[in-house]
Structure 1
């Protein structure tokens, strides 16, 4: 058990240093992640608006053709009116004329709305492109800064991680699990040294008899107040 407890002490020291290295990077990883998500979101919105603009312009062309056709038909109907010989023919042409005029008005109204939509979409696309360019610049700047920090600590982190992996392979998984749970719940500290009769983690008083047992290092003891694994290590 002594080897296990000493291994936990070493593991805690490794984790402390890894935490320090990660802290040096500050909020950069989170900032980069948020900017990447924002960039993807803006990119997706830009593609959506661009496709909508393309579809709307296609509809604009269709409406312009419909309007031309309707106007051509009205001209034809007007000429036919001079050639009609019966009231029935006259009524038929007037009915077609009225129907065509209705379609023409509807097409012209839709065309007007379509043109307004195109103007709005073009303005929105311009705004999104500007925002996307700004986000891309911020993302690149923060990525460069993060890469610098990662490069500066990469070698040490790899060495520490390798040492950590070795300890994990040699230590009881259940004990490691307990250590990890407590570490996550207690600000990164899963191990606490007994010093001057108190827990080195929460500074709560530890009964003398328990200190004696902890000092023997024959089994796992935890602090009754903070739950950290207690160890007694001579400097």
Structure 2
């Protein structure tokens, strides 16, 4: 192996660790955002459920007020029956009382339907709230753990960058520039092994002559297809 390759491979390992750490740091806020959106969706479901309960109670109250108004009219009609002496007027009042009572019965049936619906919605609401409290505790704990990981990754990244900087300062400037130019477009795989006479990066087949050149380790050899630095694993 060419003498410079040992150092370059070590540098590449450092870059891979830096890349992986940065990737983890990028992943954490995405995961936190996803969990927070899930919590928000659960809260919105509970809010919709609560609003439905409120609307049911409001509808029941309106129906009860309407029934109270009709009952008041029935009492009024009955009083008028006591005071009237005309048979036609008495019969008309009886008809109005009958219609009012029929309407009261219909409205009472609607209230019973709403009360049945309210019971079902209330059960769902309680279940959702109970699950949400448990779920939110779990999510908040996971977020807390991720934030702790984030701090650890940030500290580790600072150390890795500093170590990489110190290590890279030992390299020949031109060699470092060549490596970094390749690594910029092929992060983590600027230097690859030759596998079965093919480039370990782009997997293109190489000529026998180029393979022998890599084996000789007299100079750095680049893949003629992707430009990566090549070596034979010992």
TM class by shorter chain equals 0.5 to 0.7
Deviation at 1:44, TM superposition (A): 0.3
Match of 1:153 in 2: 153
Tell me, in whole angstroms, the C-alpha distance in 2 between the residues paired with 1:210 and 1:85.
124
Structure 1 residues 161 and 92 mapped into 2: Cα distance closer, same or farther (>3 Å)? Answer: farther
Structure 1 residues 221 and 11 mapped into 2: Cα distance closer, same or farther (>3 Å)? Answer: farther
Structure 1 residues 22 and 97 mapped into 2: Cα distance closer, same or farther (>3 Å)? Answer: same
Is contact 2:183-2:189 (8 Å) kept?
Answer: no
Is contact 1:192-1:199 (8 Å) kept?
Answer: no
Is the partner of 2:83 in helix, strand or coil? coil
Structure 1 residues 28 and 153 mapped into 2: Cα distance closer, same or farther (>3 Å)? Answer: closer
Tell me, in whole angstroms, the C-alpha distance in 1 between the residues paired with 2:183 and 2:203.
23
Deviation at 1:87, TM superposition (A): 3.6
Q: Which runs of 5+ in 1 are unaligned?
A: 1-7, 165-169, 184-188, 223-227
Is contact 2:221-2:229 (8 Å) kept?
Answer: no
Match of 1:59 in 2: 59
Deviation at 1:137, TM superposition (A): 1.1
Q: How does 1:1-235 map to 2 (within 5 A)?
A: 13=13, 16-21=16-21, 32-157=32-157, 179=185, 190-195=189-194, 198-201=198-201, 205-210=205-210, 215=220, 221-222=224-225, 229-232=227-230
Deviation at 1:18, TM superposition (A): 3.5
Is contact 1:28-1:142 (8 Å) kept?
Answer: no
Is the partner of 2:206 in helix, strand or coil? coil
Structure 1 residues 160 and 58 mapped into 2: Cα distance closer, same or farther (>3 Å)? Answer: same
Q: Which runs of 5+ in 2 are unaligned?
A: 1-7, 166-176
The structure with the larger Rg is 2
Structure possessing the higher relative contact order (Cα contacts under 8 Å, 6 or more residues apart): 2
Deviation at 1:111, TM superposition (A): 1.2
Is contact 1:46-1:129 (8 Å) kept?
Answer: yes
Q: Answer with 198-207 or 121-130: which moved more.
A: 198-207
Is contact 1:35-1:135 (8 Å) kept?
Answer: no
Tell me, in whole angstroms, the C-alpha distance in 2 between the residues paired with 1:85 and 1:11.
112
Structure 1 residues 216 and 15 mapped into 2: Cα distance closer, same or farther (>3 Å)? Answer: closer
Deviations 1:51-72 (A, max 9, x none): 1212221222222222222222
Aligned residues: 205
Structure 1 residues 94 and 194 mapped into 2: Cα distance closer, same or farther (>3 Å)? Answer: same
Is contact 2:182-2:190 (8 Å) kept?
Answer: no
Deviations 1:60-96 (A, max 9, x none): 2222222222222212212222333334312321332
Tell me, in whole angstroms, the C-alpha distance in 1 between the residues paired with 2:85 and 2:183.
103
